[in-house]
Structure 1
Amino acid sequence: MTTTHFATLVVGGGIGGLATALALARSGTEVHLVEQAPEFTEIGAGLQIGPNATRALDRLGLLNELSDIAVHPRSGIIRDAVTSEVLTRLDFGPSFIARYGYPYLVAHRSDVLTLLLHACQREPRVTLENNRTVVEVVEHSDHAITRFADGDEYTADVLIGADGIKSRVRQLLDTAEPVFSGHIAHRGAIDIADVHTDAATEDVVLWMGPGIHLMQYPVRRGELYNQVAVYESPRFAAGRDDWGDADELAEMFAPACSAVKDAIEQIDTSRAWPVFDRDPMPTWTTPHTVLIGDAAHAMLQYLGQGACQALEDALVLSNSLAAHPGDAVRAFKRFEELRVPLTNKCQTVARPWGRTWHTSDPAMLALRNRVFRTRADDDYTDLDWLYADRPEELDVTGS
């Protein structure tokens, strides 16, 4: 067994972990990052990047590179999955950009991860290490201790847990298991030439139906088409263990219109992805340890904010630590003041928003569709809390 000390250690090499390492390095901090996998990879295909996240990527100096490989969708469209009716549109054009200062992009998750990885590799203050499986994290009076499967230990003055929804670092604060929503996802990207849909492939398209939804949008310069089909599993609800197969997917989408059913036939059903989140926590920190991203605030996908919030975490944490050098407790306190209320809201709003998408209640369905039909394409008022700039997150010297 060997013990090695680092001033700042990041556990987890996903989008949030790499962004945090990069942000800290840009502020002058030496960072070591460990990742369990033998290579840096992202699971899944598509990623929606709201203006709060493109703003964060711009502040990391990566937005121009991302813009070259991402897709700039014209609009977001919500359609009824059964009748195929267009219920509402959200214009992502000039008025959207004027309001928030940044565009809405869609990209392949691995493309975003690769940009962050290459930026970290170019940064002399960042060192990266793979094949490091964390088995335990312990808080000591002087530092945090990270123990690995091979018996080695790393100590750190500041330990950042960016190790996802099943975070080992989180167990310092919370040993509860992630919450299974009962929702199952099947997803993947196909060649754009193979797309069979009456929806414009330049848009982000969401089809809503009773117990189901289908999300579609282009990625990687429009070369690929990302599709995610999600349903609420009746087999799981009934206590059965045969949930999540191709037959259940087909059963749940059987009432859908032909365009949706045609899309479902093109989705890989070899793997089902159970959808989990976490209950909000009032604190993510100990004196030497802080959680970010899904380790801190895993949320259902219905706001499209999981990775976006992790990118915001990276900037705010870096700014907080830079504003309070040598005082991690104070820096963590300011980080929590700025981030906990917003991410807790994301977690708690995503759950009922998902139920609204999937409702089969006739009254709720009629009310939902009426609200959608009457809103203007450039009505962004319900999005300001997510997308508007928050200058106070850059001025982190308060309290």
Structure 2
Amino acid sequence: MAAALALARAEVPSFVLEQASQFGEIGAGIQLGPNVFRMFDRLGVREHIDKDAVQVEKLIMKDSLSAETITEVPLIGAFAERFGNPYAVSHRADVHGALLQACEESPLVTLAHSQRVESFEDVGDGVLAETEAGQTFRGSAMIGADGLWSHVRSHLFGDGAPRVSGHVAYRAVLPFKEFPEDLRWNAATLWAGPRNHLVHYPLRRRELFNIVAVFHDDAYVEGWNESGDRDALMHRFDGVGPLPMSILERVESWRMWVLCDREPTDVWSKGRVTLLGDAAHPMLQYFAQGACMAVEDAVCLADMVVASCGDYTSAFRAYEKERYLRTGRVQLMARFLGDIYHAEGVARELRNQALRQRTPQQSHDGLAWLYGGP
């Protein structure tokens, strides 16, 4: 929907085909870096996003065995001044709702649910798409924003299934009052452990706490909303300290998904068909930038369509050329951060030693390429 909205702001009409029976969002928390707030401004949804988002005061990384604070990145003051926008966390449904409402209010966006694309064809002067519901749609071009297991990508490139990372994520939310009182920080906190980590932060005006627990596991299942095995999770976190364990013990029901990505590539398009977001550059969640990159994609793509004066083939080539190095860097950095978060033994000690010495200025400098762009 971000792409449809970006195109609408450029006076380009679009038709959004949603395979689900209704427009909605699966998941709970999402982290929003300063880079995506610039995109929200471009899309005209900033005010709506700000209503429900929580502007956290810092990023905290702690050792889950010792409870030592490894490093902190302050997000108030110098950070916001440098990057021109806050760092916030929000419920995915709230962000999705802001985009959906803006699309519904635009006469240039047509939304259709229960329309899974079964096949499509570039016919030279346009694209024909046929859905499982038996309908045929024709457009000047097509954007595949159908996620990690993209059917559009498979049809375009046939490059197989995503790379399975060997990590799984479990998510849950707790009411604010049920979250351990001594851990109710206004921060995005990560507890780094051997072959696991735990993340928590407040949501919805501090009414909820989002919790994500990640650990090494060979499980594989497609989808984002499978039921999680609580006993398996508790076994994988056996040995962590009492503070992170006090969070895990309070959660009775988890949803899980397998973490996957792909190797970065500089080709996302063929003719009048292109990819966006996870369909183009799926990434592990460790940089908390997957959704942010997709929204950046949407705004960039619309800019290129306008600049090309309706030549969609050249617009899509320009779009991928503009985006692939930035998204590829995030993909690779996310993999690296997974190794850092899950370090054990000597690697854990070296990680703690190195990050403990970082100043706030050094942390901000290290993030400037990301939060200062695109």
The TM-score bracket by the shorter chain reads over 0.9
Which residue, 25, 36, 44 being the options, matches 1:42?
25
Q: 1:377 aligned to 2:355?
A: no
Q: Any conservation in 1 of the 2:172–2:254 contact (CA below 8 Å)? A: no
Query: How far apart in 1 are the matches of 2:366 and 2:74?
Result: 14
Q: Is the 8 A contact 1:213 1:229 kept in 2?
A: yes
Determine the structure 2 residue equivalent to 1:107: 90
Write the distance in 2 (CA, Å) between the matches of 1:143 and 1:68: 40
2:100 corresponds to which residue? 117
Q: Judging changes above 3 Å, is the alpha-carbon distance between structure 1 residues 309 and 234 closer, same or farther for their aligned structure 2 residues?
A: closer
Q: 1: CA distance between counterparts of 2:339 and 2:229?
A: 22
Q: Give the aligned residue type for 2:356.
A: R
Q: Give 1:80's aligned residue.
A: 63
The SS at the match of 1:318 is: helix
Q: Which amino acid in the other structure matches residue 144 of structure 1? A: V
**Equivalent residues in 2 for 1:346-357, closer than 5 Å:** 346-357=330-341
Task: Give the superposition deviation at 1:268.
Answer: 4.6
- Alignment match, 2:223: none
* CA displacement at 1:200 relative to structure 2: 3.9
Contact 1:185 1:229 in 2 (8 A): yes
Match of 1:210 among 191, 194, 203: 194
1:316 is matched with which residue? 300
Tell me the CA shift for residue 220 of structure 1: 0.7
- Measured after TM superposition, the shift of residue 137 of structure 1 is 2.6
Amino acid at match of 2:280: A
Corresponding position: 1:26 with 2:9: yes
- State the distance in 2 between where 1:312 and 1:91 align: 24
Q: Where does residue 280 of structure 2 map in the other structure?
A: 296
**Alpha-carbon contact 1:181-1:276 (below 8 Å) kept:** yes
Q: Equivalent residue for 2:209?
A: 225
| Cα offset, 1:109, TM superposition | 0.3
Q: TM-score, normalised by structure 2?
A: 0.94
Is the CA contact (8 Å cut-off) linking 1:197 and 1:263 kept in structure 2? no
Q: How many Å separate the matches in 2 of 1:267 and 1:376?
A: 35
From 299, 314, 322, the equivalent of 1:338 is: 322
8 Å Cα contact 2:266/2:321 also seen in 1: no
- Is residue 159 of structure 1 aligned with residue 142 of structure 2? yes
SS state of the match for residue 141, structure 1?
A: coil
Q: Does the aligned pair in 1 maintain the 2:166–2:219 contact within 8 Å?
A: no
| Contact persistence 2:168–2:219 (CA under 8 A) | no
**Structure 2 residue 228 is matched with structure 1 residue 247:** no
Letter in 2 for 1:82: L
Partner secondary structure for residue 360 of structure 2: coil
How far residue 150 of structure 1 moved from its aligned partner, in angstroms, is: 2.6
Q: Percent identity?
A: 37
Unaligned ranges ≥5, structure 1: 1-17, 237-242, 391-399
Q: For the Cα contact (< 8 Å) 2:171–2:254, is it kept in 1?
A: no
Tell me which moved more, 288-297 or 130-139. 130-139
Task: Find the aligned partners of 1:208 and 1:95 in 2 and give their Cα distance.
Answer: 26
Contact 1:185–1:231, Cα closer than 8 Å, also in 2: yes
**Is the deviation greater in 270-279 or in 336-345?**
270-279
Counterpart secondary structure, 2:279: helix
2:172 maps to 1:193? no
Distance in 2, matches of 1:27 and 1:188, equals 38
Once structures 1 and 2 are overlaid, which stretch shifts more, 21-30 or 246-255? 246-255
8 Å Cα contact 2:196-2:214 kept in structure 1: yes
2:224: which partner in 1?
none
- Per-residue CA deviation, residues 122-145 of structure 1 (Å, 9 max, x unaligned), is 111111000101122333333222
Q: TM-score, normalised by structure 1?
A: 0.88
Alpha-carbon spacing, 1:274–1:389, altered in 2? closer, same or farther (3 Å) = closer
Distance 1:40 1:150 in 2: 17
Q: Secondary structure at the match of 1:274?
A: strand
Q: How many residues align?
A: 366
Q: 1:80 to 1:197 in 2, by over 3 A?
A: farther
Residue deviations 1:212-246 (CA, integer Å, cap 9, x gap): 1000000111111000011002678xxxxxx9622
Deviation at 1:166, TM superposition (A): 1.1
What CA distance in whole angstroms lies between the structure 1 residues aligned with 2:50 and 2:5? 19
Secondary structure at the counterpart of residue 311 of structure 1: helix
Read off the aligned partner of 2:285 and give its amino acid letter. Q
- Conservation of the 8 A alpha-carbon contact between 2:163 and 2:261: yes
In structure 2, relative to structure 1, the CA distance for the partners of 1:67 and 1:222 (3 Å cut) is same
Q: 1:45 to 1:235 in 2, by over 3 A?
A: closer
Residues 180, 48 of structure 1: alpha-carbon distance in 2 compared, 3 angstrom cutoff: same
Amino acid of the residue matched to residue 9 of structure 2?
R
* Residue of 249, 256, 274 corresponding to 1:272: 256
Question: Does structure 2 retain, via aligned residues, the 8 Å contact 1:199–1:205?
Answer: no
The structure 1 residue matched to 2:129, chosen from 118, 124, 146, is: 146
Q: Deviations 1:87-135 (Å, cap 9, x if unpaired)?
A: 1100100101111111101000000000000000111111100010112
Gaps of 5+ in 2: 221-226
Query: What is the distance in 2 between the residues matched to 1:319 and 1:311?
Result: 13
* Matches of 2:102 and 2:17, distance apart in 1: 16
Letter in 1 for 2:196: I
Pair 1:89-2:72 in alignment: yes
How far apart in 2 are the matches of 1:131 and 1:220?
29
Q: Is the 8 A contact 1:75 1:203 kept in 2?
A: yes
SS at match of 1:198: helix
**1:317 to 1:254, Cα distance in 2 relative to 1, 3 A:** same
